[in-house]
Copies of this chain bind each other. A is one copy, B any other.
Amino acid sequence: MTTDRTPPAPTGYVQPEIDVKALGALLDGEYAEIRDLVRANLVTHAPVLDEAEELDIDAFRERVRERVVEMAATGQTGMGFPTRYGGGGDVGASIAAFETLALGDLSVLVKVGVQFGLFGGAILHLGTERHHDAYLPDLITGKLMGCFAMTETGHGSNVQALGTVARYDAAAQEFVITTEGDQARKDYIGNAARHGELAVVFAQLEIDGTSEGVHAFVVPIRSGGESAPGVAIEDDGRKMGLNGVDNGRIRFDGVRVPREALLNRFADVTPEGVYESPIDNPHRRFFTMLGTLVQGRVCVGGAGVNVSKTALAIATRYALRRRQFAAGAEGEEQLLLDYGLHQRRLLPLIARTYALHFAQDIVRTQLHDVFSGAEDDPQARRQLEARAAGTKALATWHATRVVQECREACGGAGYLAVNRFAALKADSDIFTTFEGDNHVLLQLVAKGLLTHYASEFEDLDQLGMVRHVTGLAVEAVIEKTSAHKLLERVRDLLPGGDEWDQEAGLLDSEYQLAMVRYREEHMLAGVARRLKRGMDQKRDPGTVFSEVQDHVIALAHAHMERLVLEAFVDRVRALPDGGDKVALGLLCDLHALTTIEADRAWFMEHGRLTVQRSKSITREVNDLCRKIRPLAGDLVDAWNIPSAVLRAPDLVGEV
């Protein structure tokens, strides 16, 4: 080879060596045991990856159900349920198991999510002992399959506006559930088309003509393969992907369920028809109910991270084997990963995947702490909800981008179904939409920032938020944010005083953090100011919001990027000295600088980056790519993806 793979070494720079096993253990963290169980199950069930292509849709749905039930028997899918019902009693472990499962077939993953996360989670968190006793034991084994019937055709992301109605009939002590109009049919509901026997149905509770808002009810929808009386089920048919999941549409025509079918943890109806709830404010009640379902978003975010790993492991392994075009005088073709452009395409994505992995660790831990009661106050819950929403958005968009880039980086071979990208791309596409459209989720993140996760948080729709913000001074809006507090410390940590942005080294992580904190704080003030100005001009709040919406989304992005970078930096700092620390430090620098580089226009526009410094960031990114190039194989190997599920023999070679 005539190509020098390493750059002229700066004085004192020593290429680090990675301890792949130790790095893998770091990534698995406290959940190594459950992750190893899932990996073993993935290998056992690896033929499902072929079945996804070979079986027709009906047979594949059956196969996926069988495999889910078999996995359930190993304890893998029930980690989040109480031990007295046969669960594992460990919320964090249940998320870790789900994340790891995302390395395999994604129909299996989503079927698990529907059954144990959405359906099981609703029974567990919205129901009380009578529901737990009745349903959890069979639910956890997969014997009783169920649906989470929330989404409606007409109201994808706006759950509060859904149109299904549950009217209380006091004489019969029953609820009568009815689909009011085409737009109110339940749609895209997993387990509905074939396997679900019960559904948790979200409907507007109505008592004596008074609406009490959205509540959840357990409704039998199918028995012995036949739809229940009054229940009409349609198959959603073939989808872009996830065709092992039987999504469908459900309509209810005066379906009667007993009073006890109301999942009554947060509200109940007495036999006489008196509505009772420990939470007075109906909006807060609604969002408290929804909030218990946050684990779904945490799960999907983690799945997005691991889908990215699979794609990157394949593309990186390929780039370390494949030669294309002569590079040197001797005429031997050059490895793809020795091309600067190819390094630029893959290595920052590897860095960002590590960053998101560590960010996911934090949100999983927060979830565990809140749901195990270790730290459960309203503020912590709201911060968790915002963080889960934002991490889900970033991780799933990342997955979409990574799968596409990696497919292209593998050329025509990447297009063959045997090499995984076909399924990865089709199956993961909907991650950006389900469990909440990513743009809607980012608005939720921004809302939290603008209102400091105030108690009013859940009450506020878009317009409520606009009015809330315009009632405060801009200073008050930013003062309480953590970005503000963290930025105040800059002077102590960086050289140059007010010139910190010019004086500090590009590879100083305090500089990198200060940049993304500054951006967040500045954007927060900008959004608040714009909202106030619009309202001061007596303009229509909807129009004002519409015009500020791109700033709102940018703010939420900036906030999440800050949290992700902090997660990465904190993790590297806590590592013991050694090759892994040096390697992850390079990767963290690469992630930080590509993040800043991607938005360098903004930093220049806002006086935080000179033209010269902006250009030097680009040079530094290229240098980091060259330094990380020899580590690329180890970095993807540390993800510990079983070769039986990685497949792609044409691309990664025989393992």
A338 to B543, CA, bound (A): 9
Q: Quick one: which of A415, A461, A600 has the most chain B CB within 10 A? A: A415
A434 to B407, CA, bound (A): 13
Q: Which residue of B lies closest to A430 (CB)?
A: B415
Checking B426, B549, B550 against A240 with a beta-carbon cut-off of 8 angstroms, the contacting residue is B426
Checking B338, B416, B462, B547 against A237 with a beta-carbon cut-off of 8 angstroms, the contacting residue is B416
| In the complex, chain A residues 405-444 whose Cβ is within 8 Å of any chain B Cβ | 407-408, 411-418, 421-422, 425-426, 429-430, 432-434, 437-439
Given A2-B542, A239-B417, check contact A412 B425 (CB 8 Å): no
Given A400-B404, A600-B601, check contact A333 B161 (CB 8 Å): yes
Query: Is the beta-carbon distance between B238 and A422 smaller than 8 angstroms?
Result: yes
A372 within 8 A of B: no
Q: Which residue of B lies closest to A56 (CB)?
A: B56
Checking B238, B463, B548 against A53 with a beta-carbon cut-off of 8 angstroms, the contacting residue is B238
Query: Is the beta-carbon distance between A327 and B542 smaller than 8 angstroms?
Result: yes
Given A328-B541, A462-B325, A550-B341, check contact A412 B439 (CB 8 Å): no
Given A236-B416, A404-B400, A412-B430, check contact A158 B545 (CB 8 Å): no
A67 within 8 A of B: no
A498 within 8 A of B: no
A4 within 8 A of B: yes
Query: Is the beta-carbon distance between A421 and B240 smaller than 8 angstroms?
Result: yes
A187 within 8 A of B: yes
A622 within 8 A of B: yes
A417 to B604, CA, bound (A): 44
Least Cβ distance of A455 to chain B in Å?
22
Least Cβ distance of A590 to chain B in Å?
15
A157 within 8 A of B: yes
A237 to B187, CA, bound (A): 33
Report chain B residues within 8 Å CB of A411. Answer: 156-157, 433, 437
Report chain B residues within 8 Å CB of A324. Answer: 155-158
Report chain B residues within 8 Å CB of A418. Answer: 237-238
Checking B240, B462, B546 against A3 with a beta-carbon cut-off of 8 angstroms, the contacting residue is B546
| In the complex, chain A residues 555-611 whose Cβ is within 8 Å of any chain B Cβ | 600-601, 604-607, 611
A151 within 8 A of B: yes
Least Cβ distance of A271 to chain B in Å?
34
Query: Is the beta-carbon distance between B546 and A325 smaller than 8 angstroms?
Result: no
Report chain B residues within 8 Å CB of A542. Answer: 2-3, 326-328, 334
Query: Is the beta-carbon distance between B426 and A422 smaller than 8 angstroms?
Result: yes
Q: Which residue of B lies closest to A242 (CB)?
A: B415
Q: Which residue of B lies closest to A324 (CB)?
A: B158
A340 within 8 A of B: yes
A540 within 8 A of B: yes
A129 to B611, CA, bound (A): 62
A148 within 8 A of B: no
Least Cβ distance of A161 to chain B in Å?
7
Query: Is the beta-carbon distance between A546 and B611 smaller than 8 angstroms?
Result: no
Report chain B residues within 8 Å CB of A155. Answer: 324
Query: Is the beta-carbon distance between A546 and B417 smaller than 8 angstroms?
Result: no
A21 within 8 A of B: no
Least Cβ distance of A566 to chain B in Å?
24
A386 within 8 A of B: no
Query: Is the beta-carbon distance between A614 and B622 smaller than 8 angstroms?
Result: no
Given A340-B547, A546-B340, check contact A412 B188 (CB 8 Å): yes
Query: Is the beta-carbon distance between B549 and A340 smaller than 8 angstroms?
Result: yes
Query: Is the beta-carbon distance between B238 and A326 smaller than 8 angstroms?
Result: no
Least Cβ distance of A105 to chain B in Å?
15
Least Cβ distance of A511 to chain B in Å?
19
A250 within 8 A of B: no
Checking B326, B328, B426 against A426 with a beta-carbon cut-off of 8 angstroms, the contacting residue is B426
Report chain B residues within 8 Å CB of A550. Answer: 340-341, 344, 622
A85 within 8 A of B: no
Q: Which residue of B lies closest to A607 (CB)?
A: B611
A394 within 8 A of B: no
Report chain B residues within 8 Å CB of A3. Answer: 540, 542-543, 546
A33 to B155, CA, bound (A): 43
A325 to B547, CA, bound (A): 16
Least Cβ distance of A429 to chain B in Å?
7
Query: Is the beta-carbon distance between B463 and A158 smaller than 8 angstroms?
Result: no
A228 to B650, CA, bound (A): 27
Report chain B residues within 8 Å CB of A540. Answer: 2-4, 328
Q: Which residue of B lies closest to A425 (CB)?
A: B240
A367 to B542, CA, bound (A): 50
A201 within 8 A of B: no
A491 within 8 A of B: no
A418 to B547, CA, bound (A): 34
Report chain B residues within 8 Å CB of A404. Answer: 400, 404, 429
A408 to B236, CA, bound (A): 18
Query: Is the beta-carbon distance between A239 and B422 smaller than 8 angstroms?
Result: yes
The 9 A-B pairs at the shortest CB distance, nearest first, are namely A327-B542, A240-B422, A601-B601, A238-B417, A341-B549, A340-B546, A328-B542, A340-B549, A188-B412
Offer 30 A-B interface pairs, CB within 8 angstroms, sorted by A.
A2-B542, A53-B238, A151-B412, A156-B412, A157-B324, A157-B411, A158-B325, A188-B412, A237-B417, A237-B418, A238-B422, A240-B415, A241-B415, A325-B461, A325-B462, A326-B462, A327-B462, A327-B545, A340-B548, A341-B546, A341-B553, A407-B429, A408-B432, A411-B437, A414-B433, A425-B426, A547-B622, A550-B622, A601-B614, A605-B611
A residues near B (Cβ < 8 Å) are 2-4, 53, 56, 151, 153, 155-158, 161, 187-188, 236-241, 324-329, 333-334, 338-341, 344, 400, 404, 407-408, 411-418, 421-422, 425-426, 429-430, 432-434, 437-439, 461-463, 540-543, 545-550, 553, 600-601, 604-607, 611, 614-615, 622, 650
Supply 15 further A-B pairs (C-beta < 8 A) apart from A404-B404, A408-B438.
Answer: A3-B546, A4-B543, A53-B238, A153-B413, A156-B324, A238-B416, A238-B422, A240-B416, A326-B462, A327-B542, A328-B542, A408-B433, A422-B426, A425-B425, A606-B611
